[in-house]
Amino acid sequence: MGIERIRAIQDFDAARARAFRRSLRALFTGRVPRLRSMEPMLKAAGLEGRAYGGVREIPVERIVGSAAPEAKTGDFDPGFLPINRRMRERWTRIYQAMVEGDELPPIDVYRVDDNYYVIDGHHRVSVARNLGRPMINARVIDVKTRAPLGADVDPGTLLRAAEYAAFLETTQLHRTRPEARLECGRLGRYDEILQHILGHAYFLSLEQHRQVPLKEAAASWYDHVYKPIAESIRRHKVLEQLPGWTESDVYVEVTRRWLALSAEGEPSGPDPAIEALLQEHARRWWSRRRKIQLTPP
């Protein structure tokens, strides 16, 4: 048995042991240490289409999950560490081939946003990660979704993606205004934004003496309502003062305060509403800090 073969077996056993230790830690959190599947994310975000992206090198660290059936994803943990001992023969053969510089075929992946999901080549990804290889050759299929998805996808993120996908399906803004990025960080806000669009459609129909389709009204709302408020948000650098908020989150809060100021007979509009929001946030911040300072040791 050659030295590389021995080293490959040792590295496989060490990788499998790390996967086992991770699974023990996962027992305390109640999370199943399984490789992330692409399917539930596509269902949430809404599949728009696929296109061949060519063969190229991709960053191994951006490979975050699998597009394979569940039987395949059960062989690896979320970090592509091997779980089953029966994989050792194939894993070690690939290990030896990589170390000795043999040419391996490209893996097959789907690219969603800037993340990759393996169709075929899980063992090669596992070995490449174990060897610390930064890049791997891949045949890429680009997947477009209605709602964007990041790398760290938890149940809350999936719910927000599902809400966003449903909102885009209703308004068609991803087609009429593809540059629009209306990402909300909190659940339920797309329903409120949709009510703004429906109100805009009502007044447009009165003004133009015809029934304005929702798709057309949504595009008009984006151009004439959302964008001017978004420009005010950027001008006031609100996102720098409200970390963790998105522009669409701020838009919803600004419109609420705009209506409240108007109902009270106070000067209203985007700028006074933004000032009211920031003042309210500052008061809450100081109140929380004062409570912390007054808490006895």
Q: Is 202 found in the same domain as 242?
A: yes
**Count: domains in the chain:** 2
Q: Which amino acid is at 96?
A: Q
In a domain, 71, yes or no: yes
State the Cα–Cα distance between residues 276 and 287, nearest whole angstrom: 16
In a domain, 150, yes or no: no
pTM of the model: 0.61
Q: How do residues 230-260 score in pLDDT, each as one tens digit?
A: 999 999 999 999 988 999 999 999 999 999 9
Per-residue model confidence (pLDDT) at position 3 = 82
Contact 247, 272 (CB under 8 A): no
Per-residue model confidence (pLDDT) at position 73 = 67
232, 217, 239, 215: which is closest to 273 by C-alpha?
Answer: 232
- Residue linked to tokens 């991770």: 22
Domain boundary among 98, 116, 145: 145
Q: Is 290 found in the same domain as 161?
A: yes
Domain boundary among 112, 145, 178: 145
Q: Is 165 found in the same domain as 125?
A: no
State the Cα–Cα distance between residues 297 and 292, nearest whole angstrom: 10
Q: Which domain holds residue 140?
A: 3-145
Q: What is the mean pLDDT of each run of 10 residues along the chain (297 residues)?
A: 81 88 67 72 77 92 84 79 90 93 91 88 94 94 79 66 88 94 87 94 95 96 96 95 92 93 89 92 66 46
Domain boundary among 77, 110, 145: 145
Per-residue model confidence (pLDDT) at position 296 = 46
119, 139, 129, 170: which is closest to 54 by C-alpha?
Answer: 139
State the Cα–Cα distance between residues 66 and 42, nearest whole angstrom: 12
Going 70 to 72 to 75 to 77, the CA torsion angle's sign is negative
Per-residue model confidence (pLDDT) at position 294 = 44
